[in-house]
Structure 1
Amino acid sequence: MITSIVMALVIVAVAGVAYVAGNRFGRKSTEGLVAQAEELAARLLEDARREADNIAKEAELKAKNAALEAKEAAEGELKEKKREIQVQEKRIQQKEEHLDKKSALVDQKEMDLLKKEQSVSTKEQALAAKEDELTKAASEQRARLEQISGMSAEEAKNTLIEAMESEAKHDAAKRIKLIEEEAKETADKKAKEIIAAAIQRYAGEYVSEKCVSVVPLPSDEMKGRIIGREGRNIRALEAATGIDLIIDDTPEAVILSGFNPVRREVARLSLEKLLADGRIHPGRIEEVVAKSEEEVEKAIKEAGEQAAFDLGVHGIHPEVLKLIGRLKYRTSYTQNVYQHSLEVAFLCGIMAAELGINVKQAKRAGLLHDLGKAVDHEVEGSHAVIGADLARKYGESPKIVHAIAAHHEDEKPSTILAVLVQAADALSGARPGARREMMESYVKRLEDLERIATSFNGVSGSFAIQAGREIRVMVSSDQVSDEQSVLLARDIAKKIESEMTYPGMIKVNVIRETRATEFAR
């Protein structure tokens, strides 16, 4: 449209110019030009007018379409709103119906409660009336009894109390006599048990004889000879002994690794002989290992016989003596089990002599109590149960078998001998220097002791002393009485037994004191 108007203006301008030129060059020649220009301008104006009308119509049509689309969108939103409103109305209607039902149910319950209250009120009135009747009847009965007996209620009460007091004194006297008789019957047995648990007067020298696992070499050159060409020497030695040889960067040393202490001892002796002899090859290795096995078996037998001889215990089966000798190469918590068994046997003998029971039998039980540790790496189960089975197999008496099985509570101790073995075993393992433990576990045990003690009410402080074998507990005198302190000591001991694992016994001391302080000025 704008283009047409511009062209029309141009034509008008041209016509104007032509008119001026016509005035200047001649009217006739220019009138034709003017007429043509006017006609062209008229056509262009008409075209521009039509184009403008078309544009206006298109704009009007677009506006109508936009309005129609807006109207349809608005109607769609309105329909969606109406749908949501209908859904909400339906929900509200359902809730109202639910509330109406609940209201009706509540009204019904209120009616039922009202009826029940009326019923209870009626029953209470009836019970009150019956209680009044019973009270009157009791009063009448009491009056009749007083009239018949010739005594008042207070006099009858005093008479009954005197009779009951006399009867209670008589029963108490019989009970005291019965308790005294029972105490006399059990005093001797109880005294022996207490003495067996308390005796700690033996402290022999401790010989730590650990199984050797490192063999020194004269020089690092010997490592190559031990390995041999393509490793044949070391393979032959491992196959003959059943022990792994570890040859690493450790200077002038070979490490022997194996769970069987006897085989490890055979491997150690064999390797030392081979190093001293200098001839190291598979044939020589088998020969030396066979000789070393004979020497170790002989040493085991001699150790078992020597233990029985030193203790004065005879008649032990030769196979049992061999098992005792094998304990020479077994350690437990770094304590040599052979020396530990001898020590337990001596302790059992000393305590048996003090208690007046069979000393040799006690020594025998003490010597054999850890018999299962000689084979516990080959047989599954507790070493106490394994040892009891071996003792039973080789003809030991039932008392000895029971003492072996009960020394770690696998069975409940039922004889004095079993208690003696249990106490001697604890004494041997618990005395200072017998066994070593890591610093971390030692500190942890002290911390656990103090934590358990301070977990009880009324405890103001606790201190683990005597390397964890005694705990002193300070209590507040205003919160814990003398009687309660006795119970507190027992409760702390029970909790220590249930939550901790430790050798020997732990003494619990509960200390309660009252201090009064004043200043003289």
Structure 2
Amino acid sequence: MFLFFIVSFFAGYLVRWFFAGKKLKEAEYRARTLVDSAAREADGRKKEIELQGKDLMIKLRQDFESETKQRRDEILTAEKRVQQKEENLDKRVDLLERKEKDVNTRLAKLQEDEKAAQEKTKQLADLIQEEKQRLQKIASMSEEDAKNLLLSRLDQELVHEKAVRIRAMEDEIKDTVEKKAGQVISIAIQRCASEHTAGSTVTVVTLPSDEMKGRIIGREGRNIRALEAAAGVDIIIDDTPEAVTISSFDMYRREVAKIALENLISDGRIHPGRIEEVVEKAKKELDNVIKEEGEKAAFDLGIHGMHLELLKLVGRLKFRTSYGQNGLQHTKEVAMLMGSMCSQLGLDPKIGMRAGLLHDIGKVVSQDVEEGTHAIVGGNLARKYGESAEVVNAVESHHEEVEKSSIYGALVCAADAISAARPGARAETLETYVKRLESLEKIANSFKGIAKAYALQAGREVRVMVDPDKINDDEAIVLARDLRKKIEEGMEYPGQIKIIVLREKRAVEYAK
């Protein structure tokens, strides 16, 4: 019994130890499982926190960069405003300095005038005192002295009477000379019977069909704008069937635009790149026409040996009007009148005709090339290309700007006036209109950085193209405002004038 009890005790102890070990292993396994799970959860949490931290850092960095960029833009804008204000202040300072200088000049002139007035007052007082002394002497002079004084005064009166008679004789001689000159001029006019001339500011180009109008306009107006910019004209497309109108006060530009448009219509390829190429070819073609017109004018007048550049300038007068009168026709008239008058007066008609043909060539030279009036510029050109001294002086003195050294200058003045004054030769309204357009372009080109400037829409619009390397967008806005102020101050015009400043940057490459 005791042995059974001991065996049962050990058996129970072994069973208990077995189950206790098994529970211990299960507890250890669960503990390891919990530890591993906790470690994995900790790693996941750690990674999540790290990602959140990185997202936060990225967001903070983006916010910082955005705020920095915004502040930098604000600083740049403020710097531009300060710079613009400084420029405006500089302009105002310059204006004040000019006004101050003008005031000082006027003040100095007033002081000089005041000083001159004081001197004259003093001289007048001296004369009055001298007359008083003379009267006192007369009152106390002898008979012989009075006789001598009377004779001296009679001599003065005789001198005056002789001067009056000489002037009357001069007037009589002048009348005789004027009658003779009138006969010479009337004969010259009878021999030079020219047709009336009239200028126009529009040219009509005929189209093969109305469908061509849409191709000329192009997508969103690109073609017509390119043609207007390249030729410097205004293209008018309206309801007129199978016709397009080219408007410009410059006949040369109108003719270039007409030739270019006709070539584009016949070729059929109409796009901005092709338009610029065709306009350049039209200019070269028209330059050949100008050369031929100058040579033809010289040949018709029997003038030989004239420099080719002078003949080109003469031919260019065909595309210029003066008060509606064609420049080349006017020049040929003056040359023929000069030949007739020189023949009657016993002068060399060849010299006279050369002077008449060249007297207006200064009108076709740009002011950027030569400065001065057209007569002075024409004289300089004639001297430059080997014309004689008589011809040069006649050209540059035909508007009384230079003293005449020979009779040819006076005859050119007379022939110029005769050709311009004959009935139907000129139209005042057209010339006034053309002068206004030329003034607009001259004012626009007076600013720095201008590439091209065109007056369009009968002077109601000025289109200015600037050099993008010299003028930026902000300066283009300021330029438009300055141009508006200068036009308002320097011109008189009806209505209003629209000012358009264009700034275009092109990048061109060729794939080979």
Q: If the TM-score is normalised by the length of the shorter chain, which range does it land in?
A: 0.3 to 0.5
TM-score for both structures, normalised by structure 2: 0.46
* Largest Rg, 1 or 2: 1
Q: Which has the higher contact order (CA 8 A, sep 6+)?
A: 2
